[in-house]
Amino acid sequence: MSISIHQLSVSKLLAVLKGAIILPLKTNSVGRLGRISGKLNLKNKGEITIGRNVSFHAKPFPSSISVDKQAKLTVGDNVFFNYGLDIGCTKSIRIGSNTIIGPMVNMMDTNFHPVDVEDRTRSQDIVISDNVWIGRGVLILPGVTIGHNAVIAAGSVVTRNIPANTLAGGTPAKVIREISVPNEWIRRYN
């Protein structure tokens, strides 16, 4: 996918420039055409790998990403993050290519505090597969895998795995129905 200079608006050009300056400084690896518009608070004590053509649209509300020591956040190619994003990574979070993350989404791979004395709270991996759409205000909790092409409805709390090619929603999120996604179909281009 090539973008001509005539297709770039001033705001897009500024977002590309901001991404070209900030992302290489704050991440371990970043692909071409990373974009940041608005305020992105990026704290990296572990490892952050970001693919090509990844966009952080952090306005009107800022976004925050925190990766702890020995933790790893991996983002594929052609991923879009909307405003109000909050990622807390203490072990491992992997976000697949061609994924759309809606506004005000929160994902954390640990509960941070035990509920009671028997609670052995620990970090658990989060895996979001390729071509997934996460709706507005979704909360993704530790140990969850979301399958390829899945859609998570706005306001859902994802507490367990969601299979590929399904629409899921609710609190806790459950499969609502299967969805038809042809092979090689990509939900959105940046």
**How many angstroms separate the CA atoms of 111 and 190, rounded?**
32
Q: What angle do CA 12, 95, 154 make, to 5 degrees?
A: 80
Say if CB 54 and CB 31 are below 8 A apart. Answer: yes
Is 113 labeled as catalytic in the residue annotation?
yes
Q: What are phi and psi of 77, to 5 degrees?
A: -85, 155
Alpha helices in 61-166 (DSSP H): none
Q: What is the dihedral of CA 129, 133, 138, 140, to 10 degrees?
A: 0
Question: Residue written as tokens 């390729």?
Answer: 130
**How many angstroms separate the CA atoms of 113 and 144, rounded?**
18
**How many angstroms separate the CA atoms of 99 and 185, rounded?**
12
- Choosing from 6, 57, 113, 148, which is the catalytic residue? 113
**How many angstroms separate the CA atoms of 84 and 86, rounded?**
6
Active-site positions?
113
